[in-house]
Each structure stands twice: as C-alpha cells, then as structure tokens.
Chain A
Amino acid sequence: MLNKNFYLILIISLVFAISFWIGFNVNLLPAEASINAPIYDELFKILFIIGLIIFIGMTIAVIYSLFKFRKRNDQIGDGIALEGNLSLEIVWTIIPSIIVLLIGLYSYNIYDRMGGMKELNHNHEMMSSNTEKIWAGISQTSDNEISINNLSIEVSAMQFAFLFNYPKGNFISGELHVPVDQKVSMKMESKDVIHAFWVPEFRIKQDIIPGQPTILNFTPTKVGKYPIICAELCGPYHGGMRASIIVEEESDYNEWFNKNKKQEVNL
C-alpha cells in the first residue's frame, strides 16, 4: 500500500513539475507592447499551467487505465461492481469549484488592473450629448486623467479600412501614429457593418459597431510597427482589412503630427 502511494505521489509531482516547466519556458504569445500585455501574459501563464496539470493528469489516467485494466485473453467475467464513492464525488466537486472560483477572482483582479471595471468615458464634452451612449470597451484611465493628458483619437471603420481622425490636428490618417508611453483614448464607430479593432501585441480587442460608439483605451510601451487587424467578419475582403499602428518616440510623433496637421485659416 505504501508502495502504491509512493508511485502516485511521484507521478503527481512529475506532472506538476513538467507543467510548471512548460508554463515558464514555452512562450506561445507575440511580443508585449502595451501596459495590458504583461498583465495578460501573467494570467495566460497561470491558466496554461493549471490547464496542463489537468490535461496531462487526465490523459495519463485514461491511458494507464487502458493498459492496466485491459482484458487479458484468459480473463472472463466482469470488473468489480463498484457503483460509486460519495467521498470521492464530494472531493472532485469541491476541488474544481474552488479552482474555478479562484481563477474567476484572479481574472477579475486582472481585468480590474487592465482598467476593465472602470466607468467608460471618452471625455466630458461627449458625454453631455444625449444622443451618444457609450456601450463598452476597455478603459485604462480614470475620468480625471482623461481630459488632461490623453491623446484622443476618433476611429471610423468601413468596408474595408480604418480611418483615424486626430481632432487636435484636424486631419485624418490611414495609419495610426501614437507616441510611446502615452495614454491613448479612442472612440470608435462603424459606418456600415460590425468590425473589430485588434492589436495582438497589445492584447486588446474591441468591436466597432454601427450606431453605437465604443471606447478603447491603451498605453503602448514599445516603439515599433504593429498590425491592426479586423477580427469580425465584415465581407469578402475581411481578411485584407488591415492597418498599422506606429508607436514612436515623442519627438518623432510630434514631427509627424505637425507635418500633417491642418493650419487654422486666419482671416
């Protein structure tokens, strides 16, 4: 009996060790380029390790049973008439419930750190208009910060392109330029069907819906050029609906901004 328990404990610790090793050493995710990304990757790692432990454990249990309890040629009759075991059932109801509950609380914490539970707001002027009701999105900043130092951009999506309107410079661009480490607040609306704004390196996605503006806030942390991908089926050229987000140093951004900005016409 002691021997049996020893092997069981050995196998369980091996499964844990392998899962942790894979979880910490195998990277399945693209580069991290926003404040959201490392928070997301932390959640991913935890879920990946728990998932591996359960999957490897269950697979070993099934394959072991098939070998250990297979019917030999000389055997007749049935297996043991075991119809259930109440304490076992209680154990495998309560343990998964606790795991699921902990994962839920943890992911709530992650979502809160991403700013998902904050009040959604673009800026105060827009909220005052009655016709516009903000429905959803990710907000990374509180109300007060928004109006002070946010870069506000208005995104409109259509079959099959994104357009980025910089209200401060009064111009529209097909490429999204943002300065690194600067909070960006986007109000998005579609002109025709549903689209979605997705930057894999930022780990953010938000549908762009006709008739209902949505909000997406993020802070890029790494200079570079990343793809903006439409993730909602929007028609025949859905696969080609791409744009780029260019994260650059503040001086480079200002240069680009000043080059494109429309001068106020003075009479």
Chain B
Amino acid sequence: MTISIDPQKTNNESLQPKGWLRYFSFSLDHKVIGIQYLVCGFLFYLIGGTLASAIRIELASPMSDFMPRDVYNQVLTLHGTIMIFLWIVPVVNGAFGNYLIPFYVGARDMAFPRLNAVAFWLIPPSGLMLVASYFVEGAAQAGWTAYPPLSITTPQSGQIIWILSVLLLGGSSIFGGINFIATIIKLRRPGLKLMQLPMYCWAMLGTSLLVVLSTPVLAGTLILLSFDIIANTGFFNPVLGGNVVVYQHLFWFYSHPAVYIMVLPAFGLVSEILPVHARKPLFGYTTMVFSIMGIVVLGLVVWAHHMFTSGTPPWMRLFFTIATAFIAVPTGIKFFNWVATLWGGKISINSAMLFSCGFIINFVFGGITGVALAQVPFDIHVHDTYFVVAHFHYIVYGGTVFIIFSSIYHWFPKVTGKMLNEKLGIFHFIITFIGFNLCFAPQHWLGLNGMPRRVAEYDPQFQFVNQISSLGALLMAISTIPFLINVFLSVRNGKKAGDNPWNALTPEWLTSSPPPVENWEGEAPLVEEPYGYGKKLSEQK
C-alpha cells in the first residue's frame, strides 16, 4: 500500500493556531518560521549583549575585580558562541532567508517546510542548554574556538554541553542550507530566470553552499574533541600523542567560511535595501553575482590565516596571505557598486538607509584592517590582541548587525502592516553608530600597543582607552532601548503602512502587508526586473 499525502490536508489551516499563538507552534509557514528565527535570535542578542556589558565592566579597571577569573572566561566564551551561533547566523540566514526567499523565487513556501520547522526548533533548546550550562559546573571556558588542550583540561561538563549545543546549531544550519539551495534552484516560478533573481537569493545560494560544504567539518571536529574529553582518546591531546594544530586547521576550515556565512547574507540584504530607498537600479548586477561566487570559492581556501603564529610552515603562510588578500577584490567590487547605486539617485534619508550607509563605512574600515591582518608579518605582531577583536567587531557588528537593523526598519511594514517611527529610528542609528565606533575604534590602538585579547586584567597604562571603549559599550547597550520602545509602540499603534509603503519593485511587496498564508491570493507575479527603478514600470505608481 502506498501512502499518499494530500498537501491540502497537511497544510490544513484550521489545525494550526491563529494569531500570536502561531509563533509558539510547529508552524510550517515560512513567514512564521522567519519571525520565530528573528525574535528568538533577538532574545539571545540581549543575553549576549548583557555578557558583553559584563566584559566591558570588568575591563573598565585594570584589575580583575568585577567577577572571578574563571567566570570571566565563561562569559567571553558564551558571548562569542551566542552572538555567532544564536544571533547572527540564525537571523541573517534563517530569519530573513525564510521570510524572503519564497517570495523572491515566486513560491508559496520553502521546498521542505517540515525540515524548515525542525531547523528552527533545534535552536531554542540548544541555546537554553548552552546558557544553563553555567549552572552545572560552570560553562565552557576555552573561548568560542575551544582550542585543545585547554578545552580538554577545563571542567568537562560545561565543555561537553557546549559541544552538544554547537552540534545541534550546526545541524540546524545545515538543514536550513539544504532547504535554501533546493528552494532557489527548484521552486522558481516558471519563466523566472536565475539572472533575474533579487541579489539576496544569490547571496543565500552562496552562503548555503558554504554552510553545506564546511559545517560538517566542524561537526566532525567537535565529535572528535568530545571523544578526547569523554573517552580519553588522543586525537588532539598531546599527552596521548595527539596534535593540537590539526584541530585548529579543522576548526578554521569551518570557522573562516562562517565569517562569510554571517556576512554574505548581509551583502544580499543591503543590495535589496539600497535600490529601493535610492530609487535607482542596483549597479552592476552581473558583477555582483560573480563577486558573491568569487567570495564563496576564495572563502574556502583562506582558513590558515588564523594560524600564522601557530605551527604553520612558511610556504603555507605565504599562500594563505595572498588568498586572503585577494578576497578584498570581489568584496571591494561590491562596495564600489553600492556607492555607484547611491550616486545620482533620489535618496530618502530614513533609518533603513542610514543603517545601510553606516554598514558601508564600518565594513570598509573592517575590510582594510582585514587586508592588513592577512599579511603575515603584520599579523605576527597583532594576532590574538585587541586589534583582532576590533577588526572582527567592525565586520560582524558594524557590518552584519547594522544590516540586521536596517532590514528590520525596511521590512517591518511588510511583516506587520505598520510603520516604525522614523524619529526614534534615526535616534537609534545615531547612538548605535557613535557607541559602536567609540567602543571598537580605540581597541585597535590597545592591540598594537600590547593588550592581548581574552584577558581580565591589563596594564594600568591602558586604563583610559579601555574606559572610552566601555563608555561606547554603554551607549550601545542604551541604543537598544529606543529600538525596543519603537517596535512595541509601532506593533500596537504604528502608522498604517499600506501594501507597499516604499513603492518597491521586489516581489514581496506585490502582495498585501502582512501577506496571506500562501503569499499570494492568485498566481505569483513574474518579476523580471526587481531593480527596474527609473523605468516606466515604477514611474507609473
């Protein structure tokens, strides 16, 4: 007997909760799952941000006086792990990907709705487990990189829970990646060509390829590490003849592409936002697509630049220097194209636009320090110092988190049918931008002058600059308040948005706001020119 599943019955609306209860259910609707990812990610962002504040309070004075030293190491480990695996990766991939990709390809849902729901529901338990590990024997305290032998010799239960949690999150990420590739390749509306897709689809295709190729390596590595911890095997334990440098190669084979997993979707999102608010087509569509794919290919062969001071032979250092520096070329092309998109437009200065422009400025700065760090002789001095901390916060906070906020201002009317308050939004941008730069720009100097990262105590000569940095962190913490007020007020009684408040041309705006359950009342529209601004198409409106 064959089992046939009637798609209409399984998707029966009456079986699924309505209203806000949907967001606590095993919903199969890609839009509900997208919002689940976003809100869940934001809650973890608040936890990770609290941990960051604790770090900056500790570092406001040279002595280790705010918390015990081992707790400090747990805090920095959890901060890194939560921000990467529970905030940035799930939000730029899971949240915006699930919400937008089916619209962009003209589908009614993702290719595998159940897999999609499973991918999301792996996140809250693993996140809670990670946070709860603090109450067992202390959380993991070997940093988010978990280098052995430190990760083998520190209290074991915290480290094992950390490994389990990251494995589950990695699994969630792989499920999501497979789903995005299948949806973009196979579920496109008839007549829609690949080169007509909005740029975010290309970014998600590239990102998902990286996820599927590299995350399994991390999973394998962490399983071997857990054997070393639980079963006394000797893969990475030098006492038993293991090799600690091999762990670093395997770890960074995932974790460098992970940077692009966090950044490429942001490149896609900003490519959607800028043309709408500048009223101009995206400049250089084809080169943008090729540069994304160039970043994907190069991103897989640069991992050892994290190991220039570890055990790497000279020829290897040279190869990875050149490969890393060349990523600047496709990345640079994208930034020149975005500025060219702004050039000659009719730019609305609103929160979404300001956060996107803040992203360009911050990311260019982080990219420049990145090219410098790629040079072996330069890196040897500043590796594992606050210079590196500053660099990657310019990339992931100044870059990706700015784009997450920009995207929230841009798509809030789509999701809720209400507008966010612009004055509060611009206020939010100003204190975030000032706070962020005040917090991280001085850290470059700290690193160059002798302050290593991951320390609870430092030389008194660095106190003043550290206090400036902590002041910036305080501003960043405060900046979430106007944002939260704005969201809560606007959800309740924000200005009605109408279906297409930005007069945008990408397909998600060609339905009602908020959209109906299967996205379109009738057939999905065929959008051949998602960036056709300045042509008759949009002038008519």
Contact = CB atoms under 8 A, between A and B. Distances in A.
Interface of A: 28-30, 39-40, 43-44, 47, 51, 54-55, 58-59, 61-62, 65-66, 69-71, 75, 77-85, 88-89, 92-93, 96-97, 100, 103-104, 107-108, 110-111, 114, 116-118, 120, 135-136, 138, 192-194, 196, 198, 200, 203-207, 209-212, 214, 227, 229-240
B535 A81 contact: yes
A116 to B, nearest CB: 6
Interface string B363-392: 011001101100111101101110000000
A108 B371 CA distance: 14
Given A104-B325, A239-B69, A78 B533 contact: yes
B142 interface: yes
Contact of A79 (B149, B279, B309, B365): B279
A235 B345 contact: no
B360 interface: yes
Given A210-B244, A240-B457, A58 B345 contact: no
A231 B345 contact: no
Nearest to B375: A107
Interface stretch (B42-50, B205-213, B400-408, B446-454): B446-454
Given A28-B444, A84-B284, 8 more contacts: A51-B372, A61-B343, A62-B339, A77-B539, A84-B283, A107-B375, A108-B318, A227-B450
A69 B343 contact: yes
Interface of B: 64, 68-70, 72-73, 141-143, 147, 149-150, 153-154, 238-239, 241-245, 278-287, 309-314, 317-318, 321-322, 325-326, 328-329, 332-333, 335-337, 339-340, 342-349, 353, 357, 360-361, 364-365, 368-369, 371-372, 375-378, 380-381, 383-385, 444-445, 448-450, 452-459, 531-535, 538-539
Given A78-B279, A111-B376, A136-B311, A200 B450 contact: yes
B448 A30 contact: yes
A116 B55 CA distance: 36
Determine which residue in A117, A135, A207 has the highest number of CB atoms from chain B within 10 A of its CB, and name it.
A207
Nearest to B444: A28
A16 to B, nearest CB: 16
Nearest to B447: A200
A240 B264 CA distance: 38
Given A135-B313, A209-B311, A96 B332 contact: yes
Nearest to A197: B309
Given A30-B450, A83-B285, A233-B147, A62 B377 contact: no
B208 to A, nearest CB: 26
B348 to A, nearest CB: 5
A82 B280 CA distance: 7
Contact of A83 (B154, B278, B281): B281
A229 B318 CA distance: 26
Nearest to B312: A136
Contact of A58 (B322, B360, B455, B534): B360
Contacts of B371: 47, 51, 100, 103
Contacts of A111: 317-318, 375-377
B154 A235 contact: yes
B346 A77 contact: yes
Contacts of B339: 58, 61-62, 65
B73 A230 contact: no
8 contacts: A40-B377, A44-B378, A47-B375, A78-B280, A78-B346, A93-B329, A97-B329, A231-B309
Which of A51, A136, A234 has the most chain B CB atoms closer than 10 A to its own CB? A136
Nearest to B535: A81
B280 A80 contact: yes
A47 B282 CA distance: 31
B340 A88 contact: yes
B373 to A, nearest CB: 10
B142 A204 contact: no
Nearest to A107: B375
Contacts of A236: 68-70, 72-73, 141
B328 A100 contact: yes
